[in-house]
Structure 1
């Protein structure tokens, strides 16, 4: 039976062989058996909007470490102290929280939620941001505030641990 999950945003891009969990699977980049070993990390993105959507696709499917990696270069390339950079950092922290929940570590996950929420509040204080998602910064903050810090049952399969999806406001 096929796993039924959220609709894929970029179905033409294959998902990684596994959703990385520290100590459970080979490190995706550093280990020769990793799903992204040798793929390299380009210092420039050919299509930042596609990479943003790819991160959302990975996040929605329960590939949190991989979503973090997709968004990290966007974060690095965003201008310092801008709402856009703060927003990317908040998404990266949410992805890190997903990894910690999947590891069965609710307290570290809650710390990541708190840091993500702080970054989103800073985005609001700087006048907000068009997120590129169907969810606003305020709605994302509300969802973070309602996230239970209870770890889901452990599984080797990718699993979504959040009650919300990150959906692009328009496909590019």
Structure 2
């Protein structure tokens, strides 16, 4: 099985609802391991690998385990939610849903503000997440304007 740059197993395709087949049930379960420190866990690393490689649905699927393991409420939970919503925004962009993309990019920014007291997520900075959200929103703006 091929691996992504970070060593995470690569699925044979990115799942895009309505466009590609869903992955087999349980395929991601081995990647959802959350250590006592969810920020430094195999699931966190796999989720970020998927995000960077364009596997947006897969990123959400794996990072949900990290999000659930963090205290609620917490700044760390907001930071993970920002990554999850960024993956969702990118997925909606691929699906041709620019208005949903814009809403999700706003949510990313809100979670980044709420998570500003968080310790850093290994492998990605808040400024990188913000830049990616702004770039994603820019692409969605172009698509919305093209619809008009």
TM-score (norm 1): 0.67
CA deviation profile, 1:121-146 (whole Å, cap 9, x unmatched):
1112xx2422212x432443244234
8 Å contact kept, 1:109–1:149: no
Aligned partners of 2:34, 2:132: CA distance in 1, in Å?
32
Counterpart residue number, 2:81: 89
Q: Greater share of helix residues, 1 or 2?
A: 2
Report the CA distance shift for 1:40/1:142 in structure 2 as closer, same or farther (over 3 A): closer
Counterpart residue number, 1:26: 21
- How many residues were matched structurally? 133
Which of 145, 150, 160 matches 2:134? Answer: 145
8 Å contact kept, 2:83–2:129: no
Deviation of 1:38 (Å): 3.9
8 Å contact kept, 1:78–1:85: yes
8 Å contact kept, 1:19–1:63: yes
RMSD of equivalent CA atoms? 2.5
TM-score (norm 2): 0.77
Alignment of 1:7-156 (within 5 A): 8-10=5-7, 13-27=8-22, 35-39=23-27, 41=29, 45=33, 47=35, 48=38, 49-124=41-116, 127-133=117-123, 135-147=124-136, 148-150=138-140
Q: Which has the higher contact order (CA 8 A, sep 6+)?
A: 1
Structure 1 residues without counterparts, runs of 5 or longer? 1-6, 28-34, 153-172
CA deviation profile, 1:10-55 (whole Å, cap 9, x unmatched):
1xx431121111111233xxxxxxx23244747x725452211111
